[in-house]
Structure 1
């Protein structure tokens, strides 16, 4: 009887630990971009020639990196040093991710819902965008609490770490829709987020 009880407790502990280990997302998200006039006309083909077409996004614990359709760096955040990098043309810019003069974004929940891939999503909005997210795809917000740039820490605090699966962003004469088209949980090596290795520089 004691052996049976011990076995049940041991198995329960393993299940609990595994569940905890799977709580936060680590892996790859593939996003595509569409563009529309404020009247709803699809202008994706024209805008993609000047703006974003797709984003290949990888995230692990306190780090993330993203590449465009030509495999050029779009953005990289490394928790070590709290640094944010982005590339424009041939130049890589480095910023202190702790600096964000605008402060926290004024988010509010909306009644809009969506199903993106297999995930049922809730939404929040601010004055320029609506973001859809699922609590099934989330990170630990504590790992990004120093990432003030872009109010990333504020967003994750509001969504309890849930990552955006769709963002609709409004501009003066058009709006942009970035949507997750593939989500792949996977183990990632820390070298994936090393700026020197990403750009092959020293």
Structure 2
């Protein structure tokens, strides 16, 4: 009887799955398909060459480093169902709705007999096809989370991916693009207690990304004076004959209509972005704030300004 009681006490502990909580460090490598591909240009477009992934029940955070310096992170919060994006050079944080898918997924196949070893963990392969290309991802049953903790997480097709592999976390991914391969492989796995401090956001304003809005911010009907201001500033720096060039600017639009943190999506050599910034600041355009659940919110806005280059 004593042995039976002991067995009944221990049995639930044995049967309870051991879910991973901790940190995984990945190294990211670019392999060109030909000598004409500039690897540096590709790396410059990426978030980083190293990533640290912290995950526990209902929360995770991916942090990317470039040249050993922090560059970008995204953090998932289950309470709000939001993903918070922070860029090193941006003065504010934006959030997305994790319940909204953000790319087209074509399908996947699991190959349990395709085995490699990553850091001592035997891994099987899943081949996935999406609009971004074809990926071969390797998972180990040793490193997994409770996939039901992330139910409804459609961004990145995350919940469906987890469910397909019973909550396993990717230890190596090879993604094929038109001109290169990207390899992301775990180089360090640390199982540890993870707490709320691991998911703290930086002390910056937080605004909705345009993709999170039910109704996006819109420019109010401009006055003749505002149109004239725009045209005069553009014509001063545009060529008489040339090709159309669109300079995309972004800014933070507060729910009271105030504009702040104006910056170019890309700085052009002609300095058009400086004129575009001047237009937004000084031509008096007004914008209707974005809306989520019927409420106006602080939001990120992209604004195009057309020049002749």
TM-score, normalised on structure 1?
0.84
Contact residue 192 and residue 198 of structure 1 kept, 8 A: no
Contact residue 97 and residue 147 of structure 1 kept, 8 A: yes
- Distance in 1 (CA, whole Å) between partners of 2:37 and 2:7 is 54
Contact residue 24 and residue 138 of structure 1 kept, 8 A: yes
- Distance in 2 (CA, whole Å) between partners of 1:87 and 1:56 is 14
- Shift of residue 106, structure 1, vs aligned partner: 0.8
Contact residue 36 and residue 43 of structure 1 kept, 8 A: no
SS in 2 for 1:164: strand
Post-superposition Cα deviations, 1:87-144, rounded to whole Å, max 9, x if no partner, equal 3441422111001165655111235321000100001112221110001100101011
- Distance in 2 (CA, whole Å) between partners of 1:198 and 1:18 is 37
- Distance in 2 (CA, whole Å) between partners of 1:186 and 1:141 is 19
Q: Identify the range of structure 1 (141-150 vs 111-120) with the bigger mean alpha-carbon deviation.
A: 111-120
Cα gap change, 1:84 to 1:185, in 2 (>3 Å): same
Are 1:87 and 2:86 an aligned pair?
yes
- Shift of residue 46, structure 1, vs aligned partner: 6.2
Cα gap change, 1:40 to 1:82, in 2 (>3 Å): farther
**Runs of 5+ unmatched residues, structure 1:** none
- Distance in 2 (CA, whole Å) between partners of 1:144 and 1:160 is 12
SS in 2 for 1:192: helix
Higher relative contact order (CA 8 A, sep 6+): 1
Are 1:113 and 2:115 an aligned pair?
yes
Matches within 5 A, 1:68-87: 68-69=64-65, 70-87=69-86
Contact residue 27 and residue 60 of structure 1 kept, 8 A: yes
- Distance in 2 (CA, whole Å) between partners of 1:43 and 1:187 is 41
Contact residue 65 and residue 76 of structure 1 kept, 8 A: yes
Structure with a larger share of its residues in strand = 2
Contact residue 30 and residue 57 of structure 1 kept, 8 A: yes
- Distance in 2 (CA, whole Å) between partners of 1:131 and 1:41 is 27
Cα gap change, 1:15 to 1:98, in 2 (>3 Å): same
Mark the structure with the bigger radius of gyration. Answer: 2
> Which residue pairs with 1:97 in the alignment?
98
SS in 2 for 1:155: helix
Are 1:31 and 2:32 an aligned pair?
no
- Distance in 2 (CA, whole Å) between partners of 1:42 and 1:84 is 33
Contact residue 35 and residue 43 of structure 1 kept, 8 A: no
**Runs of 5+ unmatched residues, structure 2:** 206-309
Between Structure 1 and Structure 2, how many residues are aligned? 194
- Distance in 2 (CA, whole Å) between partners of 1:72 and 1:130 is 26
Matches within 5 A, 1:124-135: 124-127=126-129, 128-135=134-141
- Shift of residue 185, structure 1, vs aligned partner: 0.6
> Which residue pairs with 1:200 in the alignment?
203
- Distance in 2 (CA, whole Å) between partners of 1:187 and 1:41 is 46
